[in-house]
C-alpha cells in the first residue's frame, strides 16, 4: 500500500514539476514579447501649405452730421449712394453688400454746456463681401476717391478688411496624410540610428489646424499648419 502511494506521489510531483517548467517558459516568452512590444518611439509630423484666400470682407466705415434726424438720414443715404457708384466703377457692382444700422450720437446731450456745430453725428458701415479678391484689393487701394465724392470715411481698426480661406475641409485629409508621412520619416531616421526598424503605429493623435495670415502685409495669403503626434513600435 505504501509503495502504491509512493508511486502516486512521484507521478503527481513529476506532473507538477512539468507544469511549473511549462508555466515559466510561457511566462518568460510573454515577458520577452511584452518587452519587445514596449519598445516604441514618439515623433511629430508637420504639414504646411500656403493658400490664397477665397473670400474678402471689406467694411467701409463712414460718417455724416446734421442738425436734424431727417437731414442726417438724407446725408447717410447720399454717402451710401456714392459708395455704391464707386464700387460699381471698381468692378464690384455684383458683390454682396450689407448695410448695418448707423450709430447715432446726440452731441447736444453729450455736451450740454456747449453748442455743437451740428447736433447729430452718425457712423455707418457698408460691408462688401466678395470672392473676387484681386478686385477687392484694387477697390481698397482706390478708396481715397470716396472723399472727393463727399463721403467722410472713418478709419476704425474694428472694421478692418478680412480675408478668409473657406476650403480647409477639402485639403484636411491630404495634409493629415502628409504630416503622418513626415512623422514616419522621422521615426525611420531614429530607428536606423538605433539599429531598429519601424513597426506599426502604437498611438496617434492629430493636432489642431492653424490658419493664419502669411504676414501682416499679405493677409490675402494664408498659411495652414497641422502637427500630428505618432508613436511607432520599434522592431529588431
pLDDT of residue 2: 46
Average pLDDT, the chain: 85
pLDDT tens, position by position, 114-127: 777 889 999 999 99
pLDDT tens, position by position, 5-29: 455 555 554 455 454 444 444 333 3
Is residue 59 within 8 Å of 162, Cβ to Cβ? no
pLDDT of residue 4: 47
CA torsion, points 138, 144, 146, 147, in degrees to nearest 10?
Answer: 180
Enumerate the H helices of the chain as residue ranges.
Answer: 2-37, 69-89, 107-110, 133-141, 145-148, 168-193
Cα separation of the two ends of the chain: 58
pLDDT tens, position by position, 178-220: 999 999 999 999 888 888 899 898 998 888 899 999 999 999 9
pLDDT tens, position by position, 35-93: 445 788 899 999 999 999 999 999 999 999 999 999 999 999 999 999 999 999 999 98
**pTM assigned to the model:** 0.73
What are the structural domains of the chain?
38-53+165-236 (3.30.110.170), 55-164 (3.30.70.2970)
pLDDT tens, position by position, 128-140: 999 999 999 999 9
Pairing mode, if any, of strands 162-164 and 55-66?
antiparallel
Q: Please tell me the distance from the alpha carbon of residue 49 to that of residue 222, in angstroms, as a whole number.
A: 8
Give residues with Cβ within 8 angstroms of 225, minimum separation 6. 46, 47, 48, 209, 210
Amino acid at each position: 500500500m505504501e509503495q502504491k502511494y509512493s508511486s502516486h506521489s512521484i507521478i503527481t510531483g513529476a506532473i507538477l514539476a512539468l507544469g511549473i517548467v511549462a508555466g515559466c517558459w510561457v511566462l518568460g516568452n510573454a515577458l520577452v514579447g511584452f518587452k519587445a512590444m514596449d519598445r516604441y518611439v514618439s515623433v511629430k509630423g508637420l504639414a504646411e501649405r500656403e493658400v490664397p484666400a477665397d473670400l474678402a470682407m471689406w467694411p467701409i466705415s463712414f460718417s455724416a452730421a446734421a442738425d436734424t434726424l431727417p437731414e442726417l438720414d438724407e446725408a447717410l443715404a447720399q454717402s451710401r449712394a456714392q459708395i455704391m457708384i464707386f464700387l460699381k466703377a471698381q468692378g464690384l457692382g455684383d458683390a454682396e453688400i450689407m448695410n448695418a444700422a448707423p450709430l447715432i450720437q446726440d452731441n447736444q446731450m453729450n455736451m450740454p454746456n456747449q453748442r455743437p456745430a451740428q447736433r447729430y453725428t452718425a457712423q455707418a458701415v457698408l460691408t462688401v463681401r466678395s470672392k473676387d479678391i484681386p478686385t477687392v484689393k484694387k477697390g481698397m487701394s482706390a478708396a481715397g476717391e470716396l472723399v472727393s465724392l463727399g463721403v467722410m470715411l472713418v478709419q476704425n481698426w474694428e472694421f478692418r478688411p478680412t480675408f478668409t480661406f473657406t476650403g480647409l475641409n477639402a485639403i484636411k485629409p491630404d495634409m493629415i496624410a502628409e504630416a503622418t508621412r513626415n512623422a514616419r520619416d522621422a521615426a525611420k531616421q531614429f530607428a536606423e540610428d538605433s539599429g531598429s526598424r519601424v513597426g506599426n503605429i502604437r498611438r496617434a493623435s492629430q493636432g489642431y489646424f492653424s490658419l493664419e495670415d502669411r504676414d501682416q502685409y499679405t493677409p490675402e495669403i494664408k498659411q495652414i499648419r497641422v502637427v500630428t503626434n505618432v508613436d511607432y513600435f520599434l522592431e529588431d
